[in-house]
Structure 1
């Protein structure tokens, strides 16, 4: 079986979400795929290079692709609502695993900090475009990001109790100038 770099990264994301960061070792990953470690090293210099590529893959999936999706598919006035609806309905398993990994790895923690900054900045931009001042937008963006992280801690089953209409009302309140 010949695996591509993308295959390794996709498998790594699945393993991270299901088994945690301790399972992100070349020999364990190769064994679970039924291939030799040589296949792993064909695509990655070492495990650190794999980890760096994996966290970049997470960033692309969990942030950049979401922003691109919003920019292409939602009216500007509906983007924040679409973002919040998505954030409260997709599985938080991978996000939780990445954040747990960051508690043991300063490089991952640094990358997460950059992603959080990007996310908060994007949300603040959406709030400013809704008419809030930069100061209001920044404070509310930080609140939304904090609420999302709280959802991660609570887990998917507890946060599933927020109906779409209630989330929409919350977004409307946060976008209002009051």
Structure 2
């Protein structure tokens, strides 16, 4: 077993390995996610990796599950803001999609989903929850079911578009653009 230490001074945890993988995914993409790259980033040997994982397939499965848990936590927060006025709900949901906490990781996972069905299903499941919450907010704002569905789909697509149009870091203009877009979607 490796004597590598996490930031808390203890031995590396599975979460330390996952965070390193998410950082590599977000910064460099799935093709660079290799055991050697992870070990270099964490300044440990391959033995430490194999202490926690059987190999890259089990590591990647842990990444997907960890991302799913993180997205479920975010989506649960979206669902708990249901008591806010619809416009505020929509603004918070749009802001969370491009928040600094997740914006690069969200992009990386969506790119990975293009080549991995397990990741794709995780992304689709998370997307369904968000779309339902966005649709509900539009209905609560007063749109009928058909208009709410159309507006929810358009809002979601624009949010994903903002992710893919952004550079390596969030653009401060995106918040203003998101706000302007929301005004357009709420216009009657």
What is the aligned partner in structure 2 of residue 14 from structure 1? Answer: 23
Aligned residue in 2 for 1:161: 173
Question: 1:95 maps to which residue?
Answer: 106
Closer/same/farther in 2, CA of residues 169 and 149 from structure 1, 3 Å limit: closer
Instruction: Give, in whole Å, the separation in 2 of the partners of 1:13 and 1:25.
Output: 12
- Offset, 1:147: 0.2
CA distance in 2, matches of 1:159, 1:135: 33
Choose which of 22, 35, 39 in structure 1 pairs with 2:44: 35
**Taking structure 2 as the reference length, what is the TM-score of the superposition?**
0.76
Q: What is the aligned partner in structure 1 of residue 7 from structure 2?
A: none
Other-structure match for 2:64: 55
Q: Which runs of 5+ in 1 are unaligned?
A: none
Shift in alpha-carbon separation, 1:73–1:110, aligned structure 2, 3 A: closer
Structure 1 residue 115, shift from structure 2 partner: 2.1
Quick one: distance in 2 between partners of 1:154 and 1:105? 22
Whole-angstrom distance in 1 between the partners of 2:72 and 2:35: 27
**1:91-170 correspondence to structure 2 within 5 Å:** 92-156=103-167, 160-162=172-174, 164=176, 167-168=178-179, 170=181
Counterparts in 2 of 1:124 and 1:103: CA distance versus 1, 3 Å: same
Give the TM-score normalised by the residue count of structure 1: 0.80
Aligned residues: 175
Unaligned runs of 5+ in 2: 5-10
**SS state at 2:133 partner:** helix
